[in-house]
Amino acid sequence: MTLPTSSESSFISLQRLQFDVTSPNGVLLFREASKTIACYGEHILTHADIPEDKMYALKLKGISVCFVMLKEALCGNYVNFGVFRLYGDDALDKALNMFIKLLFSIPLKTLLVCDSYVANVLVSIPY
In this prediction the pTM is 0.77
pLDDT recorded at residue 118: 57
Q: What is the CA radius of gyration of the chain?
A: 15
Distance between CA atoms of residues 127 and 40, nearest Å: 26
Contacts 24+ apart (CB under 8 A), 86-95: 89/27, 89/31, 91/30, 91/31, 91/34, 91/35, 92/30, 92/34, 94/34, 94/35, 94/37, 94/38, 95/30, 95/33, 95/34, 95/37, 95/38, 95/70
Distance between CA atoms of residues 11 and 26, nearest Å: 11
Mean predicted confidence (pLDDT) in 94-123: 77
DSSP state at residue 80: -
Q: Looking at per-residue confidence, does 108 or 125 come out higher? A: 108
Task: Tell me the per-residue pLDDT of 59-104, one tens digit each, with 9 for 90 and over.
Answer: 888 888 888 888 888 887 778 888 888 889 999 999 999 999 998 8
Mean predicted confidence (pLDDT) in 5-26: 63
Mean predicted confidence (pLDDT) in 101-108: 87
Distance between CA atoms of residues 78 and 16, nearest Å: 12
pLDDT recorded at residue 14: 45
Distance between CA atoms of residues 87 and 62, nearest Å: 31
Angle between helices 24-45 and 91-105 (to 10 degrees): 30
